[in-house]
Amino acid sequence: MEYVGERCMKKLCNFYVSDLHLSVMLLPYISKQINEDVEITTIFEKLKKENIEIILDKLNVKNKNEILNINWFNSNQDTYEKIENTIEKSIKENKKVAIIIGGNQNYVVNNNENIVKYLEEKYDMSNVKIIDCYNVEELNTDMKLIANKYDGILNTSGETPTKDL
């Protein structure tokens, strides 16, 4: 966990090989989080909402509309102010929040640092979970070294604590 005074957030990582793989892997997790009343915000380098729509059309998912209505941000197109305001609103309302960041290693690290830096000084982060999704084809570091910096790994079976790896 990343500690911010007495407040801390949970951090997970994920590794994917293509946008399709990431979409298929994330949808069950996102669906479960929505069912648990968690506010989801995504910040992706390349993955677009349209990819999710295509996959959802082929699946029998009960909360399809809720999945489509989450905040699908792309920081190449959306401003940080808009992203931060969305996250900030959920935290102020004391909701559980999951922030999913995906892209190449530099994209993930930079976006994560910006979001955490903005939020950590202002808010209790105990209800916040950040999931960093790395495109393995663009990694310049061993996956195990990256995974060791996190509380757990998100995969198709859900969250696995890194201590269990």
Whether residue 155 lies inside any domain: the answer is yes
Residue-range definition of the domain harbouring residue 89: 8-137+144-164
Mean pLDDT, rounded, of the chain: 86
- CATH number of the domain within which 33 lies: 3.40.50.300
pLDDT in tens, 60-90: 888 999 999 998 877 666 677 788 888 888 8
Whether residue 18 lies inside any domain: the answer is yes
Question: Tokens representing 131?
Answer: 């999931």
- Number of structural domains in the chain: 1
The CA distance from 67 to 34, in Å, is 8
Cα distances (angstroms) measured from residue 68 to each of 12, 18, 27, 34, 47: 23, 20, 11, 11, 14
Whether residue 3 lies inside any domain: the answer is no
Whether residue 1 lies inside any domain: the answer is no
The answer on pLDDT for 165 being more than 70 is no
The model's pTM is 0.88
